[in-house]
Amino acid sequence: MIKLTNILNENKGATLNLATPVNRKILSALLKYHPELIEYQKDYHRHSITREYHRDIIYRTIQKFLRHSVNINDRDILNEVALLFLINPNIHNPKKDELFDGSDIYLTIFEYSGDEIYESDQEENVECQSCDGYGYEECYECDGTGYEECPDCEGEGSETCRYCDGSGEIEDEYGEEGDTLVCDECDGSGNVDCGYCVSGEVNCRECDGNGRTDCYHCEGEGTIAEDYVEFELVYHKKYFISYEPLDSINEESTTDPIEEFVKVNEDKQMILWYDNIWSETSKNGTDDIAYEPNEFMGQSTNKMTDWDLKYML
């Protein structure tokens, strides 16, 4: 397995300067309307390693304030104000206090796999092999023609004339005994067209003349439900903010990357900004999963710039 190299990235973009006059004014107005954020922030810093700031009530309150109170929907400004507030936990008067401007903070991205490959029973619709996904098949009764032999005339297309009983003649009621006349009903042929069919054929009773019926296997859907076992491994890509570079772990010896990472940096203040969680799934067993559970995938650290603030947070 190829590992991502631990690197200390060269700076991209300009050095951060969050404590601008505009951001100070916004932060001052924010705390005027939401003074409770001071206490929320103190509570957050007690759990900053495990609680995502990006999803915290503080971040969401700042977002709503900017959007609804000052009509700002710019995500960059949101991140600037939220980060400025985050790295100044003892703030009282944003307009006048000496604030840490973020020019010397670090962004560390730490990637690792979850501790277990989960198995779950799943169901999916797959193309019916019997009808190739069409949902229908050739009618077995009529071989796809849509017609079958008329049961009344047995396919002849005609039947014995009921008026002359097939003789072609009827008794002449006004003549002498034994005189006959040509039967008007069948014109003397003794047969008449079958009243039930056309040329000895009727619509197939199985398919109503369509020549096809719903597929027996998929009941006309074109797909059938198929059970399978899904294997899933969760991955984490965590974004930490710190006041100094964070140390790397010994990737060869660790059995729990995130626990080891927190341990080697326990004397440093770390702030979890965001945990990007995604997963890899497989239907063919665990061999298709790229990583093993609890596997270190990579770590990068760099001094944060305005580029990181715009594109990484």
If we measure between CA atoms, which residue out of 75, 52, 48 comes closest to residue 238? 52
Q: Look at the block and give the residue holding tokens 């080697």.
A: 264
If we measure between CA atoms, which residue out of 196, 199, 209 comes closest to residue 145? 209
Mean pLDDT of 100-125: 94
Burial of residue 200 (CB within 10 Å: 0-12, 13-18, 19+) is middle
The pLDDT confidence band at residue 2, using thresholds 50, 70 and 90, is very low
Strand 7-8 with 191-193, pairing:
unpaired
Residues 6+ apart with CB under 8 A from 130: 137, 215, 216, 217, 218
User: Is the pLDDT at 10 greater than 70, yes or no?
Assistant: no
Residue 270 — φ and ψ, nearest 5°? -120, 140
Mean pLDDT of 3-30: 74
Between CA 93 and CA 35 the distance in angstroms is 11
Q: Which of 131-145, 170-184, 275-289 comes out lowest in average pLDDT? A: 170-184
| CA atoms within 13 Å, Cβ hemisphere of 235 | 16
User: Is the pLDDT at 184 greater than 90, yes or no?
Assistant: no
Strand 7-8 with 296-303, pairing:
parallel
Q: State residue 12's pLDDT score.
A: 60
Mean pLDDT of 137-164: 86
Q: State residue 9's pLDDT score.
A: 42
Mean pLDDT of 4-25: 71
Mean pLDDT of 254-278: 94
Mean pLDDT of 261-287: 93
Q: State residue 30's pLDDT score.
A: 96
Helix axis angle, 21-33 relative to 75-86, nearest 10°? 70
Q: State residue 253's pLDDT score.
A: 74
Q: State residue 149's pLDDT score.
A: 86
User: Is the pLDDT at 84 greater than 90, yes or no?
Assistant: yes
- The answer to whether 134 and 282 are in contact (CB under 8 A) is no
User: Is the pLDDT at 31 greater than 50, yes or no?
Assistant: yes
* Residue 69 tokens, joined: 């109170």
Q: Which of 10-19, 209-218, 303-312 comes out lowest in average pLDDT? A: 10-19
Q: State residue 11's pLDDT score.
A: 42
If we measure between CA atoms, which residue out of 28, 26, 16, 171 comes closest to residue 103? 16
